[in-house]
Structure 1
């Protein structure tokens, strides 16, 4: 078992349990989340979407992920190129995320607010003029997205996308310097849809850019289908374990 998948199973076997003190906890978890790890990919139908129909993806990222899709197919999965059929839910995500930030910010005193990440403060302040009905509409939009994705998973066991849309950029930056982006969600268009739908997703390394920077693909499953996501990730990483290139010359990034 690859170490990353083993660690994920160990973590889920501890925290992925029903507890009455958690209002979001559910019953019916498997005895071991790694119960299907050795089943391989045969019989799995994976919908592959390069951009979910709305994201702008760097060509090198797209190429590495397409290569990974071919490798999954060679391992026995059925790969079908398809889009799940929804537009970007970024506005919905921001309504919920920023409102939650405002709820936290509003409970803090002036000193505590000075300790917050500036991005969180900006998000909270943006939500100040919003009305309750806007939050209600965002919750309704979230429910509709979840229903659409759950319908998609009646025909496909998993959905494959890139992990992120762009090449890695400098540390200590929320967005690539010099870009017109203002928030991390704009370079992570494959993350927030599944944050909203509460469906399990995992990122798997699948190669490197021309400069030796890492690229990954994402596999998302239906609600509570963590075991199947882990099964597919394990099969790929057993067949294609990450092999890191030598440390690149920093001068090539100057």
Structure 2
């Protein structure tokens, strides 16, 4: 799919030149020579025990496949405020551009986030953009020492449908259970989520691999190697329609 859509197009203001001819060109090359920084929590996230244990085991498996894996944190504070300033301001732009009938169709959580941005100024937005640039600089510097950063994909086990946050947890918004996504969204670094096991309750767990800017092929290489060596084996689920 990337070989079709991952191409420069002047109509896309975010498109870049210089993509590989084949996004899968590094698949099958093995992991020897790759340095992976394994960060259990990026220094600030709270991760459920089951999730943390499965991801740590996956780090050992990557090491067994030939990569050098070191437990280390990139050394930045949570950029949640930076992300919220940008995300909520964008949500407000969408909200303001709608008539009342369409506003009624929006997700209530999205509306609440948009309304929070009404109190912010242009200076707040500029400071968030400056913070984003600094974060990108920090992560790009970190990637001069390591080829990839490994974290949990999310901090908690899956929860019930139709909820933005687990009903039994003291969380307000989804960013709190997905603290590993938005840092790399902000820095525009490619990342992939790789399945790596199940909790004691049989719920899926994944780890995230993030590369430096435009290192998509390397991210795919490591994700592919892991999934080839350790394919997901889903636990048996009783069939409620089977008698006996």
Question: TM > 0.5 between the two?
Answer: yes
Name the one with the larger helix percent.
1
For 2:8 and 2:173, the matched residues in 1 are separated by 34
**Cα deviation per residue 1:97-147 (whole Å; 9 max; x = unaligned)?**
000000010010000100111111111101011100000000000000000
Paired residues of 1:51 and 1:161 also in contact (CA < 8 A):
yes
**Cα deviation per residue 1:66-100 (whole Å; 9 max; x = unaligned)?**
00000000000000110000000000000000000
Select which of 35, 38, 43 maps to 2:33: 43
Gaps of 5+ in 2: none
For 1:79 and 1:15, the matched residues in 2 are separated by 32
Select which of 150, 168, 174 maps to 2:158: 168
Paired residues of 1:211 and 1:248 also in contact (CA < 8 A):
no
Residues 231-242 of structure 1 mapped to structure 2, 5 A cutoff = 231-242=221-232
Residue 249 of structure 1 deviates from its aligned partner by 8.6
Following superposition, which runs of at least 4 residues in structure 1 exceed 3 angstroms of deviation?
none
In structure 1, the partner of 2:96 is 106
Residue 221 of structure 1 deviates from its aligned partner by 0.1
Gaps of 5+ in 1: 1-10
In structure 1, the partner of 2:11 is 21
Paired residues of 1:102 and 1:125 also in contact (CA < 8 A):
yes
**Cα deviation per residue 1:25-63 (whole Å; 9 max; x = unaligned)?**
100000010000011111100000000000000111110
Q: Is residue 224 from structure 1 mapped to residue 214 from structure 2 by the alignment?
A: yes
- Normalization by structure 2: what TM-score? 0.97
SS of 1:128 mapped into structure 2: helix
Paired residues of 1:150 and 1:223 also in contact (CA < 8 A):
yes
In structure 2, the partner of 1:30 is 20
In structure 1, the partner of 2:205 is 215
In structure 2, the partner of 1:5 is none
Q: 1:124 to 1:248 in 2, by over 3 A?
A: farther
